[in-house]
Structure 1
């Protein structure tokens, strides 16, 4: 059981690295065409092409569930749940808290929430794919905690 708890925690933490890596090198790289609409203020729809990245990570998570179900990887379920849990946290922080796709958590005003919003605001300051900063989500650079 402790192995599964450890694997879940490590998977969740690894997903923060994957969010940073894929955001910096994939979303702002060769798949900019899917991510570009997220940096525009006006959208034609509530959905963005950028939402495809949720589907990509959901498929990866489901893949680990299947590896477990077919007894190929014993900790596949734990890894799949870790990826899923990070996806839920990312959705709550990024889509609900920061971008207010649902009008919840509007009054959150603690040190961490201000740092997350500040870091993401600095990221969106850059409209194009170049010169970006603050590509992570849950772990915010210390400089955004100041002020």
Structure 2
């Protein structure tokens, strides 16, 4: 397998993960997985960890399995799919938990219109405290209206 195919597989998986995340967020987290996700929608949730954090473990399992089977008997495309999932997980953590929810004191003074737009879209998502009627289920790609500067 060539280097270009490895990189392409990793990047394609990273991009596809946005669709997987959107579907998972809308149909699982706001569906039968609401029990784990509900505390995430409660304002001022006082704990360091939320039940919602269990989803990080759940989403890490496919990546770990793909790494395992992607090096047996030699490195193959499964490894690079797992790598794309891992990179998306890192991006999700940095954007969602660090930038948007400020669970860590990093990136507080960003002037990036893109990052501000992501934060604005997620705030709109969180204005719905209940399971139904949600919007903006994506994480890296949200509607363009959230990136416009206020006139």
TM-score interval w.r.t. the shorter chain?
over 0.9
Unaligned 5+ runs, structure 1: none
* Larger CA deviation: 72-81 vs 100-109: 72-81
Which secondary structure state, in structure 2, belongs to the residue aligned with residue 69 of structure 1?
A: coil
What is the total number of aligned residue pairs between the two structures?
A: 147
Q: What stretches of structure 1 move > 3 A for 4+ residues in a row?
A: none
2:108 is matched with 106
Q: What is the CA–CA distance in structure 1 between the aligned matches of 2:79 and 2:38, rounded to whole Å?
A: 33
User: TM-score scaled by structure 2?
Assistant: 0.93
Q: How does 1:1-147 map to 2 (within 5 A)?
A: 1-71=3-73, 74-146=76-148, 147=150
Using the TM superposition, give the Cα deviation of residue 140 of structure 1 relative to its aligned residue in structure 2, in angstroms: 1.6
Q: What is the CA–CA distance in structure 1 between the aligned matches of 2:33 and 2:74, rounded to whole Å?
A: 31
Using the TM superposition, give the Cα deviation of residue 143 of structure 1 relative to its aligned residue in structure 2, in angstroms: 1.2
Q: What is the CA–CA distance in structure 1 between the aligned matches of 2:46 and 2:114, rounded to whole Å?
A: 32
Q: What is the CA–CA distance in structure 1 between the aligned matches of 2:74 and 2:85, rounded to whole Å?
A: 18
CA RMSD of aligned residues (A): 1.3
Using the TM superposition, give the Cα deviation of residue 104 of structure 1 relative to its aligned residue in structure 2, in angstroms: 0.8
Unaligned 5+ runs, structure 2: none
User: TM-score scaled by structure 1?
Assistant: 0.95
1:38-64 CA deviation, whole Å, 9 max, x = no partner? Answer: 001132421011111110111110010
1:52-80 CA deviation, whole Å, 9 max, x = no partner? Answer: 11101111100101111223882111111
* Larger CA deviation: 91-100 vs 42-51: 42-51
